[in-house]
Amino acid sequence: MRALIQRVRRAKVEVEERVTGEIGPGLLILVCAMQGDTEAEAEKLAARIAKLRIFKDEAGKMNRAVTDIGGACLVVSQFTLAADTSRGNRPGFSTAAPPDEGNRLYVQFSNNLRALGLPVANGEFGADMAVSLVNDGPVTIWMDTADRA
């Protein structure tokens, strides 16, 4: 699974001008299930993100995790994280998981974060969403479970 993680002061997602998810301080997580991903990748990614120390401590160093600051997560599905831009000018998305599998793993990932004690808000899988955020830092981190053995 792939995720683009942004440390935010606040974030929200709307579908047809209806707010589907909104958080204060925490993480906006754009997530994509890739072909071949399983529940194990969803669990591994959630655990890594929950422990990711990108929030400032009392000395101003990035030494705290979202769990340490009492933050929340806004999880938004984004299949375009699977973009293959190696040929031509139009990205290909054939490495993304099929929609049914992608949705299942998106839900599983969100539930894994909840099981770790994090408040989680969500976008709407497959919808045309408007995402707004106030990036804090800015701090933006890329993770891919395929990058770790």
Catalytic residue list? 78-80
Query: At a CB cut-off of 8 Å and minimum separation 6, what does 103 contact?
Result: 77, 125, 126
DSSP state of 86: S
**What is residue 102's three-state secondary structure?**
helix
Contact call for residues 82 and 34 (beta carbons, < 8 A) = yes
Assign 8 to helix, strand or coil.
strand
The residue among 76, 2, 73 whose CA lies nearest residue 32 is 2
